[in-house]
Structures are given as structure tokens and as C-alpha cells.
Amino acid sequence: MTLFLRRVLLLIGLPVILLVTWWFASAGSTSFYQPPLETIVKVFPGTWNAARFKSDVLPSLIRLFIGYGLALVIGIGLGVLIGANRRLRALVEPILEFLRAIPPPVLVPILILIAGIGNPTKVLVIVVGGVWPVLLNTVEGVRGVDEVLSDTCRSYGIGGWLRMRTFILRGASPQIVVGARQALSISIIMMVIGELLGATDGLGYTVVEFQRGFQIPEMWSGVFVLGLLGVLLSLAFSLVERRVLNWYHGARAAERSGR
């Protein structure tokens, strides 16, 4: 219980300190653009009610999950293919490095010109932003698998899907999870960017509409919603990561205790 409480305090301690500091520092603010935190908190329940959750938050979450899921599937699939084939890796590596150097937000206007304005384009924006961390980390993870274990699998005739599932994907999973975590953060950013252009719903669209309507406390409350969404998704990802990499963390702990 002590360890659990320590983790909880470490997780929420700094945010609570920052919020308390902001509360008292902004208490006497008369700025239209920087309202007191108390005002933002007061408008929060009325602004983000069940109706708005259904009309704006839910569409954003659906796009995010679809785009992020596609980024994982494409990134892991291509990453395993490229990482396991030296000739293919040598062929496409310069292209991957070139494309990786292009900031994903720059591609948004191009995607809109090609695919138009609509939900498929907003999902595509998320995919384009999130696929690269997964792809590149998967390639590195597959490249870094133990050569001795690879030879052992070959000697025992372990091949096909069994080798892929029990050796390659398992050995590369720590790197894949690192890429998936990075992709989650980028996907949230790309979700908001996609909703800034030609959207009629979503969190990004709503925050901009509040700003254009000079509803500044409501705008700040939308920023809070995005922050809370990021925190909740990060916590959910940590739970999945702990389950997927339980064997890896156990092996690392045993290695440290044996030293």
C-alpha cells in the first residue's frame, strides 16, 4: 500500500501543486484573455455536459481510436517486413529517413487537397502522424533481436507464424511499445490539427469556435479537456504496457537483483 500511495502522490502531486499555484496567482486577474482559474472551473460543468460530450468529444475519440489503431497495424506490419529483410531495409531506409524528417502537420493541407474535407481525411491525418514512430521503432526492434535465439529457432525448425509470434514480435515488443507510446501523443496532436480545418465537430473545432466567439473561459475549459484526455489515455496505455511487457519487466528486475 505504501508503494501504491507513493506512486499516486508522484503522479498527481505536481499537477495539484501547479493548479493550486495557478488558482491563487490568477485570483485577482482582470484580463479578458487570462481569466481566473475559478471562472474556468465554474463554466466547466455547464460547457462540457452530456450533450457536448456526445456531439464533440465522442467524434474526436472515434477518429483518434480508428486512426491510432490503423497506425499501429500499418506501422507494425511494415516495420516487421522491413526489419526482417536486409535488402528491403537497405532499399527503403533513405526514403523512410526523408519522410520522417517532414513534420506531419505540414502534410495536412496536402492531404486535404488529395482526399478532401471529411472524416476519412481527419482519420488519415492521425494515421500519417502516428505511423512513423511505430514503424521506425518496430524496424529497430526487429533488427535488434538476439541472433543466437534466431539461430536456435532455425535449428529447431521453428518458422512461419510461430517464429513470428514467439520470437520476433516478442523480442521486438519493448521497442514497439516505445513507438506506440510516442504515436499516441502525436495522434492526439494530429487529431486536434485535423479538426481545426473544415470540421463541424470535435474538440479542436469546439476550442477554436469558443476562441472565435470570444468565449475565453470556455476555450480554456476545452484545453483542460484535451489535457485530461491525454492523461487518461496515457494511464490506460501504461496499464496495457504493464500487461504486455510483464515478462520483460520481470526479466529486468531479476537481472538487477542478480547483480
Per-residue pLDDT of the chain (259 residues; tens, 9 = 90+): 555 566 666 667 777 888 889 888 888 888 888 889 889 999 999 899 999 899 889 999 999 999 999 999 999 999 999 988 888 888 888 888 888 888 888 888 888 888 777 888 899 999 999 999 999 999 988 887 777 666 677 776 776 667 777 777 888 888 999 999 999 999 999 999 988 877 788 899 899 999 999 999 999 999 999 988 988 898 889 888 888 888 776 666 666 666 5
Q: Cα(40)–Cα(162) distance, rounded to whole angstroms?
A: 54
Q: Cα(241)–Cα(71) distance, rounded to whole angstroms?
A: 17
Q: Please, are residues 82 and 139 in contact by the beta-carbon 8 Å criterion?
A: yes
Q: Cα(164)–Cα(176) distance, rounded to whole angstroms?
A: 14
Domain encompassing residue 103: 54-245
User: Is 142 part of a structural domain of the chain?
Assistant: yes
User: Is 91 part of a structural domain of the chain?
Assistant: yes
Q: Cα(37)–Cα(55) distance, rounded to whole angstroms?
A: 25
Q: Please, are residues 100 and 136 in contact by the beta-carbon 8 Å criterion?
A: yes
User: Is 6 part of a structural domain of the chain?
Assistant: no
User: The pTM is what?
Assistant: 0.86
For position 74, which CATH number holds? Answer: 1.10.3720.10
